[in-house]
Amino acid sequence: MSLPVALPALGGLEGPAADFSNDTWWIALIKAVLVFAFLVVNVLVAIWAERRILGRMQQRPGPNRHGPFGLLQSLADGVKLALKEDIVPAGADKITYVLAPAISAAPAFLAFAVIPLGPEVTLFGVTTPLQVTDVPVSVLFVLAAASVGVYGLILAGWASGSTYPLLGGLRSTAQVISYELIMGLALVGVFIYTGSMSTSRIVEQQEGLWLFLPLFPSFVFFLVAIVGETNRAPFDLPEGEGELVGGFHTEYSSLKFALFFLAEYVAMFTVSALAVTLFLGGWLAPWPLAPLTLGGIGPIPAYEVPFIGNGWFGAELGTSWFNTGFWPVLWFTIKMWVIVFGFFWLRGALPRLRYDQFMNLGWKVLIEAAFAWVVLLGIVRGLQVYGFASQQQVLVGVLVLGVLVVGITFLLSARAVEETREEPAEVDPFADGFPVPPLPGQTVARSRGSLERTAVGARTDTTDPEEPRG
């Protein structure tokens, strides 16, 4: 696998780089089981790690009772949920109510099938890629799977037959529609730059230069979008405890609730793995374990492995040894956990946004900025394809435009959030027909609402005015 001299032309999308011709049905089954086990183990560790990390951030111990350092706490919680009574509301749509958790969890596992965990290895005597499968449109497959997963949240809210879960499901619908547009625009930048939608091909094209550097705006937009897509803080609005009691899963208990919990964490790992695959070199070893070429501008040598290989540039052995065998699984896992740690950090550092702030950020700032970035990127790539610019000039131009787009996006974001903080000095608490308490800094206006409040108080007073009060 070598770094392409020039970026591919825009004439068509390239197919997968991985070769699955040697795979048999039992090899595919083994790889699928291994991926499932990989995700489940990571979820168990993530639940424990998140509680411990947030505990340290908030100056409390976190789980420390079950097992050494509380490592068995996630397993104990799973057993507890399995043994709880499974209560089904009387007014629920039984079939949809039961199917919704599975609809939410299954696509999160399914999307991981096209994520490459490493290069070709020998597994039980068969040479096969460390990837379940790959297709020319693998990235669109992941996006489609994420879209199907949200149906579980919507159906859970509707099938529960309760008001608060229904509101949580409606919030989830609006949230996913908004931030899937941003995610899609971020992915378009990768397609334009690499000329491929295949995950294995995109990883191959990052040997020497990871895409987060030339496509930094797409990387930023993608990170924001995946936080909104997975309903994680500060975008966990479909399950806001303050106003929705618990959101779409309020009426769920036992293993059905555990499936929603599992789906959230598996989806978090899936989108983190996709971010690693598209922007952070996938399973490729980082510098200084592998050489850095900066898109052909000039090689930065890697660390020479002692007693292995014969040069700084990692010939047949040497530094390329870190990108062979099962070593790449380690690099991939470390990169993925860096993104997952970002989810934990956001939850411990930021409060939940108001819903209007959340929508303003998506529709008034991020979608416009992502669209403008895609247009600019397409123009710059077109200049290279038609011979008006070299690869180095394209890289420099993309970097400059990326810095400008990210800077303008942050300015617009701050302005949009500031606009949502402006509240009217006076409010009518009965303007919508029901009492709404004033926010801090507001005063109650003497208006129709005040008269209605007086009238309602008079109607509820059933005391006979002629009867003496004693």
**Residue 20 resides in a domain:** no
d(CA 259, CA 105): 6
- Please tell me the distance from the alpha carbon of residue 290 to that of residue 295, in angstroms, as a whole number: 14
CA distance 117 to 43: 17
Is the residue at 8 inside a domain?
no
Measured between alpha carbons, how far is 299 from 98 in angstroms, rounded to an integer? Answer: 56
**Residue 95 and residue 204 in one domain:** yes
Residues 432 and 395 in one domain: no
Buried b (16+ CB within 10 A) or exposed e, 251-260: bbebebbbbb
Quick one: 456 and 335 in the same domain? no
Are residue 221 and residue 257 in the same domain, yes or no? yes
Quote the pLDDT of residue 234: 86
Asked if 439 and 383 sit in the same domain, the reply is no
Residue 395 sits in the same domain as residue 434: no
Same domain, yes or no: 445 and 358: no
Looking only at the bridges linking them, the beta strands covering 443-444 and 426-427 are parallel
In 3D space, the residue among 401, 413, 412, 392 whose CA is nearest the CA of residue 217 turns out to be 401
Based on the domain organization, do 125 and 199 belong to the same domain? yes
Percentage above 90 pLDDT, the chain = 23
Is 60 inside a domain boundary?
A: yes
The confidence score (pLDDT) of residue 439 equals 64
150 to 12, 99, 172, 188, 263: CA distances (angstroms): 31, 13, 7, 22, 10
User: Does residue 465 belong to any structural domain of this protein?
Assistant: no
396 and 435 together in one domain: no
Q: Which tens digit of pLDDT belongs to each residue from 231-253?
A: 888 888 877 766 767 778 888 98
Residue with tokens 């890697």: 302
Task: Tell me the CB-side half-sphere exposure of residue 329, using CA atoms within 13 A.
Answer: 10
Residues 63-114 have pLDDT tens digits of 888 888 888 988 898 899 889 888 888 888 889 999 999 998 898 899 899 9
What is the DSSP annotation of 241-290? HHHHTTGGGTT--HHHHHHHHHHHHHHHHHHHHHHHHHHS-TTSPPTTTS
State mean pLDDT over 313-319: 40
The answer to whether residues 434 and 295 belong to one domain is: no
What is the average pLDDT across 434-460?
56
Residue 39 covered by a domain: yes
State the average pLDDT for the chain. 79
* Residue 296 and residue 439 in one domain: no
pLDDT band at 187 (very low <50, low <70, confident <90, very high): very high
Residue at 2 is within a domain: no
In a domain, 417, yes or no: no
Q: If pLDDT is split at 50, 70 and 90, which confidence band does 438 have?
A: low
Q: Is 5 part of a structural domain of the chain?
A: no
Q: Are residues 395 and 432 in the same domain?
A: no
pLDDT number for residue 48:
93
The pairing of strands 118-123 and 126-130 is antiparallel
Higher pLDDT, 39 or 2: 39
Owning domain of residue 447: 426-460
Domain count, the chain: 2
Is the pLDDT confidence value at 37 over 90? yes
